[in-house]
Amino acid sequence: MQSHKKEISASMMCSDLINLKETLKIFEDEGVEHLHIDVMDGTFVPNFGLGVDYIRSLRELTDIPMDLHLMVKDPEYKFQWVGIKENDIVSVHYESTFQVQRALDFLEPFGCKRFLAINPATPVYSLEEVLDYIDGIHLLMVNPGFAGQNIVPSTIKKAEKVMQLLKEKNHEDVIMEVDGNITLEHAEILSKIGASIFVAGTSCLFTGDIKDYAQNLEKLRKAINK
């Protein structure tokens, strides 16, 4: 199995807006690779999330690339709103559109990394026909919409199935990102399975005071690189 660099994507949905600049400074100092932005429309998921103005403002505060998780219905018609950059990751959900391959095609002109996200109950075989169009698989370990949920236990086995599919289809170049209740224990297990990008939220990063974030990141780095 091809080895990919292990990277952290900090979930900004969980961040404290009051200390945002200080938080971003810590992330820059600690080499956080991505800022995970949950964009939610209240239709595809039962919550409203971070919007285009937030993304635009965040870009003025830091050069850390965005990991844009679009939890919106028919995302292919909304890409222009987001201000996608070439060094971004953009995840669209398999379940969010009737035309998944078309949505991925619509992303190509932006030059970003194209990821396909799948919910816990979406079968792994749904990925087979689009492997030629994606750079990564965004595996939801919880049902999307809210932070602080417990992992759906079957998703650990599902991660193994994803990696087996990539091997069988000769697509070991495709990255697996894992998102939802990524504790240190889950991060270590998923890293050994083959996950490469770990969305860090309330389960491992945004715990305690802001002064703890650097230490929390150090612990996560250790867990995913064991």
Q: Among all residues, which ones are annotated catalytic?
A: 38, 179
**CA pair distance 194, 191, nearest whole angstrom:** 5
**CA pair distance 194, 163, nearest whole angstrom:** 7
**CA pair distance 137, 134, nearest whole angstrom:** 8
Q: Tell me whether strands 34-40 and 197-200 are parallel, antiparallel or unpaired.
A: unpaired
Q: Any idea of the CA torsion for 116, 136, 112, 107, to the nearest 10 degrees? A: -30
**CA pair distance 224, 12, nearest whole angstrom:** 20
Signed CA dihedral, 150, 155, 157, 163: sign only: negative
Alpha-helix runs per DSSP H in the chain: 20-29, 52-61, 79-82, 100-107, 154-168, 184-193, 213-224
Question: What tokens were used for 22?
Answer: 């200080």
Contact criterion met (CB below 8 Å) for 92 and 116: yes
